[in-house]
Amino acid sequence: MKDLQNLKIKIKSQITRIKKAEHDRPNLLSQTIYIGTLGLVMVLPIIAGAYLGSWLDGMMAGYSMHWTLSLLLTGVVIGILNVYFLIKD
């Protein structure tokens, strides 16, 4: 009798675990949103760095790309760190 009760408890816990796994399974929409978010957190710092660097270089006399290249590379590093920390969680 006790074995039957233990079996029922085990089966109920397995059913609950399976239902939870089915509910928590990522679907296509959630995966698409996740990939889109990864793209944005990578690209936005790069674009912002390039734009700000270009603007700063335009304020200087003569032809210069120092700020553009520096802030572009800074944007790449920040974008990579953003993606790393987003994936890490």
Q: How many domains does the chain have?
A: 1
Residue 84 has pLDDT above 80, yes or no: yes
pLDDT of amino acid 2 = 76
Residue 3 has pLDDT above 90, yes or no: no
Better-predicted residue by pLDDT, 48 or 2: 48
pLDDT of amino acid 52 = 96
pLDDT of amino acid 76 = 97
Residue 51 has pLDDT above 90, yes or no: yes
3-state secondary structure the chain: CHHHHHHHHHHHHHHHHHHHHHHHCCCHHHHHHHHHHHHHHHHHHHHHHHHHHHHHHHHCCCCCCHHHHHHHHHHHHHHHHHHHHHHHC
Whether the model pTM is above 0.75? no
pLDDT of amino acid 25 = 78
Q: Where in the sequence is the domain holding 54, given as residue range(s)?
A: 2-88
